[in-house]
C-alpha cells in the first residue's frame, strides 16, 4: 500500500505567532500588515532579522541581515523581540489539532510536522483531509500553513515549499519530472549552501541534473551525501515518520453548514456525522471519553457551548451521540445556526488506565458491550471499503 504523508509548514511562523499573540492581548495593529520584523535586541547589538512581514520583504529585507541594514532599506521598520515560550505555545496548539487526525506525527521543527495518514483516512481522500486541516488552522488558530502531500517525507516536504502562503501542493513520483526537476539545486531538501557552488562547478544546476547523474559518480564526488542527494532528486525516501506516542487531550470536529438552519432534524444528522468522526478517533487511539461538549454558532456569529459529564466513560458512537443530541436541543433554542461542533474530553487511555469488569453484567453494560462490537465491525468495514461504504440509518 502506498503511504499517505503530509508535511505541514507554518507560513512565516515567528512573525505570525507574534502578531496573533499581540492581537489577543489587545493590540490594534496586525504586524503582518505593516513593515515589521522579528529580531534580536538592537541595543545589545544582537539585532538580526529572524522573520519579516511580506511588506518588509518588498523593501528588500532578508532574513539573517542586521536590523541596522534593514532600517537603511525601510526607515519606518518596526522591530519586535521573539519569544521561544510563545512559539512553543502556538506549536503545541497546532500539534494538538493535528492529533485529531493521526497520532503518527513527527515534529520536524517548532513550525513543521510530518503526518503519516496511511491508516487514518477512514476512506476519505487525502486531499480532502489536507484542505480540512488547512482551513481549520486558519479559522481556529488564526495563522496559515502550507501542506505538501505525497507518498514519502522528502516529496511531501518539497511540495510544501512550492507557492506560498496557505496552499496545498502534491508531489507524487509521477509528478517529479514536471514539478521538481526544473528547480535549482539549492531547492533540494537537506542540501547545504556550501554544496551548491561545488555542484555548479561540476555543471550541475538543477535537480534534474543531479537525478540524471550516475549514482557512482555522485558517491565518488560527495560520499554518502552524494547518494542521499541522488536518491532525493529521484524521489527515493523510505524513512518512516518518527513519532512519540502522545495521546490527544481532547478530540473535536465542527462543520459550517451550507445554509443557516433551525431545523433540529437536519442539525441532528450533521451532529451524527461529526460524532462518528470523533468516536472513530477515540477508538483508533484506544481512548474513552468522560465528557461531551456541544458548540454552536448562530447566523449572527454568537457562540454557545454546553458540556456534560457522561454517566460512563465510552467510545461508543451511539452513547456519545445520544448525550450530544440532548445538549444540542438545550443549546440551540430554535435559533438559526451556521455552525455546530462536538468535542469529547477528559480522555482515559483504555490500554493503561481502564478495564471493564468481567463481572459487570448489568443490562446497561451488556448494551454498551453490544454497541462496542457494532462500532468495531463498522470501523473494519470503513477501513477496508471506505467511509461511505456503510452508514447509520440516522444519516439517511
Residue whose C-alpha is closest to residue 233's, from 217, 255, 249, 210:
210
CA dist 245 and 169 (Å) reads 28
All three cell numbers of 119, joined, read: 491508516
Beta pairing partners, 5 = 116, 150
CA dist 12 and 6 (Å) reads 19
**Number of residues that this document lists for the chain:** 396
Residue 268 contacts residue 325 (beta carbons within 8 Å): yes
- Where in the sequence numbering do the catalytic residues fall? 112
Our CA dihedral for 317, 322, 324, 329, rounded to 10 degrees, sits at: 150
Please list, in sequence order, all residues whose beta carbon lies within 8 angstroms of the beta carbon of residue 226, skipping any fewer than 6 positions away.
217, 218, 219, 220
All three cell numbers of 393, joined, read: 440509518
Distance of CA 13 to the CA centre of its chain: 14
Amino acid at each position: 500500500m502506498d503511504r499517505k504523508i503530509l508535511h505541514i509548514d507554518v507560513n512565516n511562523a515567528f512573525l505570525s505567532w507574534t502578531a496573533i499573540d499581540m492581537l489577543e492581548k489587545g493590540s490594534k495593529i496586525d504586524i503582518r500588515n505593516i513593515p515589521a520584523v522579528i529580531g534580536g535586541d538592537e541595543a545589545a547589538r544582537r539585532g538580526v532579522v529572524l522573520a519579516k512581514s511580506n511588506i518588509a520583504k518588498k523593501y528588500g529585507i532578508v532574513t539573517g541581515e542586521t536590523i541596522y541594514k534593514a532600517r537603511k532599506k525601510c526607515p519606518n521598520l518596526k522591530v519586535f523581540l521573539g519569544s521561544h515560550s510563545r512559539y512553543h505555545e502556538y506549536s503545541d496548539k497546532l500539534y494538538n489539532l493535528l492529533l485529531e487526525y493521526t497520532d503518527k506525527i513527527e515534529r520536524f521543527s517548532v513550525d513543521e510536522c510530518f503526518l503519516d495518514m496511511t491508516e487514518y483516512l477512514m476512506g476519505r481522500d487525502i486531499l480532502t483531509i489536507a484542505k480540512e486541516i488547512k482551513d481549520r488552522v486558519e479559522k481556529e488558530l488564526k495563522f496559515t500553513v502550507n501542506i505538501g502531500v505525497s507518498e514519502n517525507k522528502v516529496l511531501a516536504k518539497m511540495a510544501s515549499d512550492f507557492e506560498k502562503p496557505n496552499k496545498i501542493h502534491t508531489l507524487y513520483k509521477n509528478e517529479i519530472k514536471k514539478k521538481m526537476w526544473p528547480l535549482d539545486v539549492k531547492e533540494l531538501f537537506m542540501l547545504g549552501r556550501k554544496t551548491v557552488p561545488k555542484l555548479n562547478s561540476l555543471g550541475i544546476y538543477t535537480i534534474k541534473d543531479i537525478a540524471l547523474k550516475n549514482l557512482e559518480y555522485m558517491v565518488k564526488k560527495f560520499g554518502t551525501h552524494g547518494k542521499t542527494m541522488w536518491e532525493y532528486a529521484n524521489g527515493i525516501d523510505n524513512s518512516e515518520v518518527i513519532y512519540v506516542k502522545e495521546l490527544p487531550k481532547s478530540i473535536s470536529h465542527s462543520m459550517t453548514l451550507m445554509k443557516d438552519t433551525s431545523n433540529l432534524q437536519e442539525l441532528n444528522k450533521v451532529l451524527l456525522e461529526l460524532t462518528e468522526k470523533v468516536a472513530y478517533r477515540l477508538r483508533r487511539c484506544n481512548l474513552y471519553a468522560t465528557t461531551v461538549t456541544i458548540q454552536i454558532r448562530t447566523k449572527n456569529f454568537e457562540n454557545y457551548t454546553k458540556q456534560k459529564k457522561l454517566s460512563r466513560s465510552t467510545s461508543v458512537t451511539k452513547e456519545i451521540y445520544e448525550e450530544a443530541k440532548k445538549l444540542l436541543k438545550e443549546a440551540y433554542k430554535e435559533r438559526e445556526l451556521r455552525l455546530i461542533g462536538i468535542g469529547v474530553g477528559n480522555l482515559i487511555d483504555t490500554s493503561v488506565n481502564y478495564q471493564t469488569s468481567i463481572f459487570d453484567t448489568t443490562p446497561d453494560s451488556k448494551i454498551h458491550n453490544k454497541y462496542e462490537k457494532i462500532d468495531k465491525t463498522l470501523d473494519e468495514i470503513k477501513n477496508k471499503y471506505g467511509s461511505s461504504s456503510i452508514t447509520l440509518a440516522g444519516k439517511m
